[in-house]
Amino acid sequence: MRERPWYKPLVAWFESQNRFWLEGEEERLFRLVTDSEAEWVKAETERMQRARKQVRDREIRPVKGDCRIRVARRERMEEEEVLLWIRSDRRLTVEQKDTIFEEEEIAWFRVLIQFVGDGWKIAHCTPEAEPVEWVRPPRASLSEPETPPVFTSSGYDRRRSVQYANLWWNGYNPKYRRFDVDCTNYVSQCIHAGGIPMDPSPMRDRGWWYRTDLWSYSWAVAHSFHWYLTKGGGPMRAVQVSRPQELYPGDIICYDWDGDGRWDHNTIVTAKDPLGMPLVNAHTVNCRHRYWDYRDSYAWTPNTRYRFYRIEG
């Protein structure tokens, strides 16, 4: 294998993030970067500190953290500088109230590595969405498991919705277009898989619908989907509740990262932790059984607002 001296600090960077989550050790991280005072390093440190605080607040015990990385593309290769696209597959195992469960996430980064002084170091690491053109079709063997329907009184099959969410959290159903920002498209598919019929309209700013060549804004745009839930009517009846504990698997959480009234992200509840708090699946940064508040996210800010919707048909 051709020597890749820049690969060792790359692996060490992601391993150190894992160690920080498990043990709270941050000193090693600073030794791996070209400038520990850079704004991106400060932001990353704050994010990981939020993640550690989330661990304490939830009263969970980190058991194990696995992170596998893959160099997806070498964008620039020079003698003393390398720019890479990296895919990170992370699985976290935690214990809460004598219950063991896992959270998974697939994230993409552009990483700039430079030779400084006597070695290679991380000059910048930026989270990115996976380019649409890189997405591979799902394996042909993958199919939806058959289970008896469990409808609510309104006809919404929560089990089917959650099944679909868990089947496609790390992949893309070829029956649907994949978007750069895919969170709402994914959530819409999950709800539709649970038996909620589309709300067709000849206009894209009306209803909630998808066709091969066209779709409503509410099907694929986070802000439009939020307002579709809010206004009510149509075949999808959603009731806003005040607390996350009131949600069940198959329900929806909307996120306004900056608190500016523009709703940016949607997730679907797929499980509850032992304290009754929602665990969610999502796309864009694909994840399974992530804690609902996203405090460990790059997108989260102190101004983040949430809205909680129970789907009743």
Residue 221 CA: distances (Å) to CA of 99, 208, 280: 36, 11, 19
pLDDT (tens digit, 9 = 90+) per residue, 45-100? 899 889 999 999 999 999 999 999 999 999 888 889 999 999 999 999 999 999 99
pLDDT (tens digit, 9 = 90+) per residue, 167-194? 999 999 999 999 999 999 999 999 999 9
Q: Which residues contact 199 (CB under 8 A, 6 or more apart)?
A: 207, 208, 209, 216, 234, 235, 236
Q: Hey, how many other C-beta atoms are within 10 angstroms of the C-beta on 211? A: 10
Give domain limits for the chain: 7-128, 158-311
DSSP secondary structure code for residue 169 in this structure: T
Q: Which CATH class name applies to 7-128?
A: alpha beta
Pairing between strand 305-311 and 252-256? antiparallel
User: So what's the pLDDT on residue 153?
Assistant: 43
Angle at 50 between CA 44 and CA 54, to 5 degrees: 145
121 has pLDDT over 50: yes
Radius of gyration of the chain (CA): 21
| 71 vs 134, higher pLDDT | 71
125 has pLDDT over 50: yes
DSSP reduced 3-state for 78: strand
Distance CA 308, CA 253 (A): 5
Read off the pLDDT band of 155 (50, 70, 90): confident
Distance CA 196, CA 157 (A): 8
User: So what's the pLDDT on residue 20?
Assistant: 83
Q: Identify the architecture of domain 158-311 in CATH.
A: Alpha-Beta Complex (3.90)
- Proportion of the chain above pLDDT 70, given as a percent: 91
Q: Which amino acid is at 110?
A: R
